[in-house]
Structure 1
Amino acid sequence: QVSTLSLEIAERVLRTQLDDKAKQQELVNNLLKDVELN
């Protein structure tokens, strides 16, 4: 399950603007919040 989650996070990060570190961090934080809720 953790590996699946890691792959999902990596995939979503790659789909975002990789040159924008702030957006990357925000995305990861949001994904982690989603995981905590599940």
Structure 2
Amino acid sequence: AGRPTPPGLPPQPGAEPPQPRREALRVGPAGGGPAGHPGS
């Protein structure tokens, strides 16, 4: 995991391009922000 995706293969977990879902999770309860923001 974490290796660059070779050409012709689907993006594997841990690839270079970060996914918006991870960003949303960071903004959730794990973001350390005000407790009142749903982590949905």
Q: Which category describes the TM-score, using the shorter chain as reference length?
A: 0.3 to 0.5
Higher share in helix: 1
TM-score by length of 2: 0.32
Structure label with greater radius of gyration:
2
TM-score (norm: length of structure 1): 0.33
